[in-house]
């Protein structure tokens, strides 16, 4: 999307036509049209368009969503502030990487992902930037303003949920995703960490009468993440790598439950515990072997007609 956003913002900032913009960049008008449709753009041309649009370090997609460069800067400040607030109050024992990384990056991934998730939930980014929130980004003592503003409080709740979801992911899942033995690059499981903010948002208890698209969003996210986790579990099982938790809890448990599990792990309460699924799989494998071998043994002994299983001996007293 960035190439089309860059072209649109450059055209607006320069007040020129596509043909005039093409002359400035020494490319064909057809190339401008291709970029406007989303075709990949080189770093050099991206930089030139960004300079013409006067973006500085701002993400062009965020600027378009916010409505102006000034409002984009305010959203960046607010999201940075809410990320810091959420991370400072996290209790899992793990740092929430998405909240503390890339904040100074030109890509502004956290800001873009936050806007993307809000849009997928069916929420429109307010324009212009809510005036009452300007005090929040200017003064650290204005926390109460957040709780009175629906979108700011929602973003904060998303980030708080993310600290718990990411804590569980860091404790039980990430080592598997990046395990070289599993070689998960370009597999469904490799995309798991990029869906964690969406997953965190899906775990919120929201008023669906106010956000009609939330139910559809929640079901879609859970379905997609469940497929990723299932794939990861299958690969781990085939490789004989034990699990220390039921990974599907990431999908179906509440964010509070995930946070408690992560905290327990960070404190070492379950360091020697393997998840029962591992033992159950071993038992099932053994049972399948017995199921295949036993009939052959009975036939070999010639007792297939007289053998009868006494199930009463299998019942617990």
pLDDT tens, 73-105?
899 889 988 999 999 999 999 999 999 875 444
- pLDDT for the residue 197: 97
How many CA atoms within 13 Å lie on the side-chain side of 61?
16
What are the tokens at 215? Answer: 């139910």
CA angle 77, 121, 5 (to 5 degrees): 55
Q: Give the CB-side neighbour count of residue 42, counting CA atoms within 13 A.
A: 6
Q: Is the pLDDT of residue 287 over 80?
A: no
Task: Give me the chain's average pLDDT, please.
Answer: 86
pLDDT in tens, 228-249: 999 999 999 889 888 888 999 9
pLDDT at 118 over 90: yes
**pLDDT tens readout for residues 243-270:** 888 999 999 999 999 999 999 999 887 6
Instruction: Check residue 106 and give its pLDDT.
Output: 42
Tell me the pLDDT band of 107, cut-offs 50, 70 and 90. Answer: very low
Question: 136 or 20, which is more confident?
Answer: 20
pLDDT in the model for residue 140:
56
Identify the pLDDT of residue 280: 56
Phi, psi torsion values for 275, nearest 5 degrees:
-70, 140
């Amino acid at each position: 999307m960035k190439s089309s956003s860059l072209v649109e913002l450059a055209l607006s900032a320069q007040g020129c036509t596509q043909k005039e913009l093409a002359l400035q960049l020494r490319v064909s008008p057809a190339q401008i049209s291709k970029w406007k449709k989303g075709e990949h753009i080189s770093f050099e041309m991206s930089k030139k368009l960004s300079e013409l649009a006067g973006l500085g370090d701002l993400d062009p997609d965020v600027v378009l969503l916010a409505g102006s460069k000034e409002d984009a800067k305010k959203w960046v400040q607010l999201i940075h502030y809410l990320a810091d607030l959420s991370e400072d109050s996290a209790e899992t024992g793990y740092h929430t990487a998405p909240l503390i990384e890339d904040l100074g990056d030109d890509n502004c991934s956290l800001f873009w992902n936050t806007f993307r998730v809000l849009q997928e939930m069916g929420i429109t980014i307010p324009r212009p930037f809510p005036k009452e929130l300007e005090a929040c980004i200017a003064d650290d003592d204005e926390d109460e303003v957040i709780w009175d503003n629906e979108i700011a409080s929602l973003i904060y709740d998303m980030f708080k949920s993310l600290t718990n979801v990411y804590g569980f992911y860091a404790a039980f899942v990430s080592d598997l995703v990046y395990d070289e033995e599993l070689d998960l690059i370009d597999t469904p499981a490799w995309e798991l960490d990029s869906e964690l903010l969406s997953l965190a948002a899906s775990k919120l208890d929201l008023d669906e009468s106010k956000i009609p698209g939330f139910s559809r969003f929640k079901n879609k996210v859970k379905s997609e993440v469940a497929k990723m986790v299932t794939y990861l579990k299958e690969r781990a099982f085939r490789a004989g790598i034990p699990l220390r938790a039921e990974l599907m809890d990431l999908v179906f448990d509440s964010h509070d439950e995930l946070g408690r599990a992560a905290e327990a792990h960070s404190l070492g309460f379950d360091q020697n515990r393997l998840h029962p699924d591992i033992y159950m799989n071993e038992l099932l494998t053994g049972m399948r072997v017995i199921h295949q071998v036993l009939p052959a043994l009975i036939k070999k002994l010639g007792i297939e007609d007289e053998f009868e299983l006494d199930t009463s001996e299998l019942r617990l007293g």
